[in-house]
Chain A
Amino acid sequence: MKKLKIKSGTILGWAFSLPALIYMLVFIGYPIIQNIILSFKNVNVYTFANKDAQNFIGFDNYIELFTDPNSVLLNSIVKTLIFTVGSIFFQFIIGFALALLFNKKFPGCSFFRGVTMISWLLPVTVSGLLFKFMFAASGGIINQFLVTFGAINKPIEWLLNPVTATVAIIIANIWVGIPFNMMLILTGLTTIPNEVYESASIDGANGIQKLFRITIPMIKSAIMSVLTLGFVYTFKVFDLVWVMTKGGPVNSTQLVSTYSYRLSFEEFQFSKGASAANILFIILLFVGLFYIQLIKEDEVM
């Protein structure tokens, strides 16, 4: 009888989960495998419609991506790392500071905290265009502020200079990502019982000591989640950069994701684009596995 029950549970569990699983296997699992196969072929604008001309060419696409002087893959990996680390560093610090602030009770607190969320929810395309406008050389508000405060003498062409363009996309991405960091850290902060702080106060601990001795150690797992998830989500950013710079000027903001898109859908080198996407996938997979290890230790599953 008991055995039967367990069995029926298994069947029911699978039955309920199966439709979603099949859907994901067909539209995510199968394309991933196809993408791997594609990366070992020579599908491009000439062979796209002609199946007979599509051959397996082994690792040629990958080798070319890494060694061909025209390929900017290595450069784009470096750019992606700079973009990701730059974004996360500031998103995390600002998000943390905002979480500490909004964790206190004061008039207007929940309103301010709530509305701050909006930057994370906006369609990234619109946020990207908004920042493109704010960084514009003529009519851009950022130049105007900097000139007014005397930081620069004349407007800069933010998005036309390799270094400032990188800075601009990072700043835009920081704005988008702050609420995510803030909310997750805020959730962590609410789990710390107030008594801990009270007894620390009695022992004469000051604010900074409390932050480093109590707050940070007690929400360590939330911090690790935010950082790894933030890394994964930032590493694959596409829309924001595509809208703001399209990878330019001269590939200076070309991320692996935008490069892969450009190869596939601007140059129609589908196989090469697939290879670049796979490289991005492998990097993310490592970080993703690290994250899963992390939450496994942390209960939940």
Chain B
Amino acid sequence: MKKINIANETKKKILLSIVGFIVFAIFIFPLYWMIVTSLKTQVEIFSIPTPLWPENLTFKAYIDQFAASSDTFLGFRNSLIISLGAMVIATVLAIPASYGLARFRFKGTKVIILLFLITQMLPSTLVLTSLYIMFSGMHLLNKYLAPIIADATIGIPFSVIILRTYFLSIPKELDEAAKIDGCGHLRAFVRIMLPIARPGIIVAAVFSFMFAWGDLIYGITFITNPTMRPITSSIYNYVQQYQTLWNSTMAFGIIAISPVIIIFIFAQRYIVSGLTNGAVKA
């Protein structure tokens, strides 16, 4: 009897694995298609029917992307500058704020948390026009600082919310012990809390980076100088120009998503926890 049960269990697991794999394969197909297309020739792409894998595998699209146009390299560099800038601002501001909201119960805590929650739900178009006018007055258009400032506003509320949950999970006694040992609030915060909260801080920073990396609307609006465009904006402009050069566009796309893929491979666990904590809990 038991033996049959185990055999059934194994059968069930194999079946689930097969179903899981099929679902996975369908779901991930667009990504596969992007990679395959980037390795094809234009002729293959437009032949009917188009082959499901590259028959004449070529890296020409990638070589062209790097050699023939500087769009890719410049876009990558600009995005890196903008995303790192936004990440630093968002993280540096969010750490103390989330600590303050987690550790000190004071009048206004709830309102502040609510405000951060609401800002997460705002459409970018709501502040876009005013920011444009404001940056234009400050002579910040076509400067990296404009999208950096704007992108940080996406990272801050998200970071505050996930870091606050993180600080709440650290036992209060740790702080108090530090204070008894003669540390002031600030020193207790820097010496004790920051190192313990490191995993949470990494999640927050990674998300702030990815939000900025994925931004299109601020990039296309505040930066019109082609050499300063972030990569999302330059790939968007590239497609407008070379409508059907799909292998190059997809190679460009792969390069544009590469940091996200790398982050994902190394920090998948953190990302999942960040998504569930930052999105649901307040």
Contact = CB atoms under 8 A, between A and B. Distances in A.
Whether chain B is bound by chain A comes out as: yes
Contact of A118 (B31, B117, B132): B31
Nearest to A48: B133
Contacts of A123: 213-214, 216, 232, 256-257, 260
B112 A17 contact: yes
B121 interface: yes
A138 B257 CA distance: 25
Interface string A280-301: 1100110110011001000011
A233 to B, nearest CB: 8
A117 B269 CA distance: 11
Contacts of B156: 20, 23-24
A148 B260 contact: no
B contact face: mostly helix, strand, loop, or mixed: helix
Given A125-B235, A184-B276, 4 more contacts: A126-B232, A133-B249, A178-B27, A257-B123
A133 B125 contact: no
Contacts of B256: 123, 125-126
A7 to B, nearest CB: 9
A10 B107 contact: yes
Interface of B: 13-14, 16-17, 19-21, 23-24, 27-28, 30-31, 33-34, 37, 45-46, 48-50, 89, 93-94, 96-97, 99-101, 103-110, 112-119, 121-134, 149-150, 152-153, 156-157, 160, 185, 189, 210, 213-214, 216-217, 221, 232, 235-236, 239, 244, 246, 249-250, 253, 256-257, 260-261, 264, 268, 271-272, 275-276, 279-282
A123 B243 CA distance: 20
Interface stretch (A81-89, A198-206, A210-218, A237-245): A237-245
Interface centre among A13, A15, A257, A276 (most CB of B within 10 A): A13
Contacts of B279: 180, 184, 225, 229
Contacts of A264: 125, 128-129, 132
A contact face: mostly helix, strand, loop, or mixed: helix
B185 A184 contact: no
Contact of B20 (A13, A101, A139, A243): A101
A121 B105 CA distance: 34
A20 B96 contact: yes
Interface centre among A24, A102, A232 (most CB of B within 10 A): A24
